[in-house]
Chains A and B, each alone.
Chain A
Amino acid sequence: MAGVLVLVEHTSGAVDELSLQAVALARQVAAGAPLAALLVGDGGSKAAAQLGPHGVASALVAEDERLAAYAPGAWARCVSDLIDRLDPAAVVAAGTNRGNEVLGHVAARRDLPFAANCVSVSSEAPLTLTRVRWGGSLLEESRVHGPLALLSSAPHMVAAGGLNGAAAPAVESFAPAVDEADLIVQVAEHVDTVATGVSLAEAKVVVSGGRGVGSAEGFGMLEELALLLDAAVGCSRVVTSAGWRPHTDQVGQTGTKVSPDLYIACGISGATQHIAGCKGAKKILAINADAEAPIFASADFAVIGDLTEIVPAITAELRRARSQ
């Protein structure tokens, strides 16, 4: 069987965790056939050296100064050139913004089917796979019909794993045939944003509010509790649609995906849209007046009652416990 090509993303020479998950998915498709990795950008050779224990036999590092700034069309050109050269059975990337975008371009350029956000795949032709829908609230089993399959791996749903004792991959640099048309859409400028407070995506504790908080002002008590816990404040989609909080605070399928040690859901009913964003939390505490709210089917701990009484009581109890 032909091998499998994996697009590996890296940050200045360190392989991204999500790309190691993509390599693991590629191993499922390859079923023992050789894995080749494509790395684009500065530090590619250094990153490639880390891939041996993950079963990658060879690494191709695209070196072209025109690739210094990200251009999806140029990355897709690199993948497409390697498809011609290696004739792989599949191309796999991480289900990141870039991974999905580049595979989308390869799919469009070569008129191939592309399955985004896969969690598992069989190695037999025609290839069958399981992928996520609704941000992970539902799974889909599909079959891919085409000369080769393009697959991305659903973030944090494939274990990266690792093999022991594998040799470092053979690293080769190659010059892709990038032309002007591939560079029409290219990052022209990067604007830094100044971080304020605790980052929602990285917080150890998130205090989140939904419709039950009642108003923009109602979030004051959540902010007070969050301050004590060094937590970030989050919210549900209803809250951002109402304009009570900015969209940057939204936890959910169309907002931020969080993975704190504790997620405190206050007055959040628990729509699938929201759960898709907080199911990565180690523990979920739900505070809700409705004992039948769907959030309790996703939570580890529950407090039933009026959050406008419960949240200030928790804040007071924390202060009291700390002063002792």
Chain B
Amino acid sequence: MRILVCVKRVPLTGGRMVLTEDEQAIETRHLGFTISPHEECGVEEAVRLVEQHGGDVTVLTLGPAEAEEQLRDALATGADRGVLLLTGGEEWDPQATAAAIVAAIEAERAAGGDYDLIVFGNESADSGNYQVGIRVAHALGRPIATGLKGLSIEDGRARCEQEVNGGRDVYRVPLPAVVSVLEGINLPRYPSVPAKLRARKKPIERITPERPEARLEKLRLVLPPGQGKRAEILGRGPDAAPAVVDVMRALGVA
């Protein structure tokens, strides 16, 4: 099986967000970056499928040159090669993002390669647009199942499980297909030191797509109101226990 996983570089925001002066982004000068959580599980899921059925995993991202770091992370956890769709660091809207990914997949197809399965995260941690994978699937004329908590290949079909109220819905989707996964579908492995070293030598292809006009145009970011309340200190150490129980009683939960 040839599998493509699409991932996004997002900041590790910690406890408090600060915006840049132009209100276009989160101030990230003092922050680290990571692969968005659902997509981290997407990489793990693809690597496990290939371990089971054979094949290879390509990991793709659209982002600034620094997003190579997230591709290397994915290569260290078992992906075989990377594709970096280079941007100038500005944010692309979902339609533009999907179009660039579709163009990269079609170029690969024209060169004789194709993917049996394309994996997305259900939504990115930062912009949360819930649509890039669906747009890519439609453009390629392939079926998509979203929000998966279970995935296996049975008789040439993807058995897809979605968590719903009171249980799981199961879909059987013919390959080639597109899926989007949720964190919790698996527990991603940590890369070993030798794997990190090997990842440095794995190939990354760089493409610079042209950015179309945004149709969902971000004007500015705003911090929600009501941040930074001051908690009432009930006490320090175990001596605070009676005050805690008083609060529980006042709330009617004790």
Contacts and interface: CB of A to CB of B under 8 A. Distances in A.
**Do A and B make up one complex?**
yes
B184 interface: yes
Interface in B32-61: 37-38
A188 B15 CA distance: 42
Contact of A254 (B183, B219, B234, B238): B183
A114 to B, nearest CB: 5
A271 B15 contact: yes
Contacts of A116: 123, 128-131
A41 interface: no
Given A134-B128, A185-B144, A261-B251, A270 B15 contact: yes
Contacts of B252: 261
B251 A139 contact: no
A134 B248 contact: no
Contacts of B220: 140-141
B104 interface: no
Given A108-B137, A318-B245, A113 B182 contact: no
Nearest to A201: B165
Interface in A57-111: 70, 72-73, 97, 100-101, 103-105, 107-109, 111
Contacts, number: 264
Nearest to B141: A181
A212 interface: no
Interface string B118-151: 0000010111111100110111000111110000
A284 B139 CA distance: 46
Contact of B218 (A105, A140, A255, A317): A140
A321 B248 CA distance: 12
B183 A261 contact: no
A140 B223 CA distance: 9
B172 A188 contact: yes
B138 to A, nearest CB: 4
A136 B223 CA distance: 9
A143 B219 contact: yes
A297 B227 contact: yes
A298 B134 CA distance: 35
B231 A191 contact: no
Nearest to B142: A184
B30 interface: no
B67 to A, nearest CB: 19
B173 interface: yes
B237 interface: yes
Given A272-B17, A297-B229, A305-B240, A132 B128 contact: yes
Interface string B165-209: 011111111100000001110011000000000000000000000
Main secondary structure of the interface of A (DSSP, over half): mixed
Interface string A294-312: 1111111111111001101
Interface string A127-147: 010101111111111111110
Interface in B216-254: 216-224, 227-242, 244-245, 247-249, 251-254
Contacts of B232: 300-302
Contacts of B126: 133-134
A179 B184 CA distance: 34
A82 B11 CA distance: 40
Nearest to B99: A111
B13 interface: yes
Nearest to A302: B231
B170 A273 contact: no
Given A205-B253, A294-B15, A297-B16, A304 B236 contact: yes
Interface in A252-271: 253-255, 261-262, 269-271
Contacts of A211: none
A158 to B, nearest CB: 14
Given A97-B162, A262-B251, A303 B244 contact: yes
Contacts of B162: 97
B237 A309 contact: yes
A229 interface: yes
A191 B224 contact: no
A317 B228 contact: no
B14 interface: yes
A92 B230 CA distance: 37
20 contacts: A109-B138, A134-B126, A135-B125, A138-B17, A139-B223, A141-B218, A141-B219, A141-B220, A142-B218, A144-B215, A144-B216, A188-B171, A191-B170, A241-B187, A248-B184, A272-B13, A285-B244, A295-B15, A296-B231, A302-B231
